[in-house]
Structure 1
Amino acid sequence: MWLSVLVGVVGLVVGLRLLYRTWSGRCVSSASMRGKTVIVTGASAGIGLHTAADLVKRGARVILACRNLEKAGRVADELRKGARDGGEVVVRHLDTSDLASVRRFAQEILDTEKHIHVLVNNAGIVGTEERQVTGDGLEVIMATNHFGHFLLTNLLLDRLKQSAPSRIINVSSVGHKRPTSLDIDDLNLEREAYSKMRAYSKSKLCNVLFTLELARRLKGIGVTANSLHPGVVHTDIMKSLEYSLTNILLKLMISVVSKDSALGAQTTIHLAVAEEVEGVSGKYFVDCKEAPTSSLGRDQDLARRLWEASEKAVKLTPGEAH
Structure 2
Amino acid sequence: LRGARVIIACRGEEKARKAVREIRSHNMNVLHMEVDLANMRSIREFSKTFLQKEKRLDILINNADDDFSMCFGVNHLGHFLLTNLLLPRLKESSPSSMINLTCSSYKYQKLDFQDLNYNLFPFVTYCRSKLANICFTQELARTLEGKGVTAYAVHPGYVQSNWICPYSVLFRILVQVVMFMFFVSCEAGAHTVVYCAVSDEVLEHNGGYFTDCQPAHLRAFASDSGVARKLWEASERLVKLA
Q: What is the TM-score normalised by the length of structure 2?
A: 0.94
Q: Distance in 2 between matches of 1:174 and 1:121?
A: 16
Task: Establish whether residue 113 from structure 1 lines up as the match of residue 54 from structure 2.
Answer: yes
The answer for the alignment partner of 1:156 in structure 2 is 86
1:207-265, Cα deviation, whole Å (9 max, x unpaired): 0000011111010111000101111211112334x349877644422221111000011
Per mean C-alpha deviation after superposition, the further-off stretch among 181-190 and 147-156 is: 181-190
The answer for the alignment partner of 1:306 in structure 2 is 231
1:183 aligns with one of 84, 90, 112: 112
Relative contact order (alpha carbons < 8 A, sep ≥ 6): 1 or 2 greater? Answer: 1
Conserved? CA contact 1:224–1:279, under 8 Å = no
Root-mean-square deviation (Å): 1.8
1:227 aligns with one of 123, 141, 153: 153
Q: Distance in 2 between matches of 1:297 and 1:306?
A: 12
The answer for the alignment partner of 2:104 in structure 1 is 174
Q: Distance in 2 between matches of 1:216 and 1:293?
A: 17
1:50-75, Cα deviation, whole Å (9 max, x unpaired): xxxxxxx2210000001112331232
Which amino acid in the other structure matches residue 116 of structure 2? L
**Secondary structure in 1 matching 2:205:** coil
Note the residue ranges of structure 1 that are not aligned, 5 or more in a row: 1-56, 129-139, 318-322
Tell me how far 1:125 sits from its aligned partner: 4.2
Tell me how far 1:294 sits from its aligned partner: 1.9
Q: What is the TM-score normalised by the length of structure 1?
A: 0.71
The answer for the alignment partner of 1:131 in structure 2 is none
Q: Distance in 2 between matches of 1:92 and 1:157?
A: 18
Tell me how far 1:283 sits from its aligned partner: 0.1
Number of residue equivalences: 242
2:132 aligns with one of 197, 206, 213: 206
Note the residue ranges of structure 2 that are not aligned, 5 or more in a row: none
The answer for the alignment partner of 1:123 in structure 2 is 64
The answer for the alignment partner of 1:51 in structure 2 is none
Conserved? CA contact 1:118–1:167, under 8 Å = yes
The answer for the alignment partner of 1:40 in structure 2 is none
1:237-276 residue pairs with structure 2 within 5 A?
A: 237-240=163-166, 242-243=167-168, 249-276=174-201
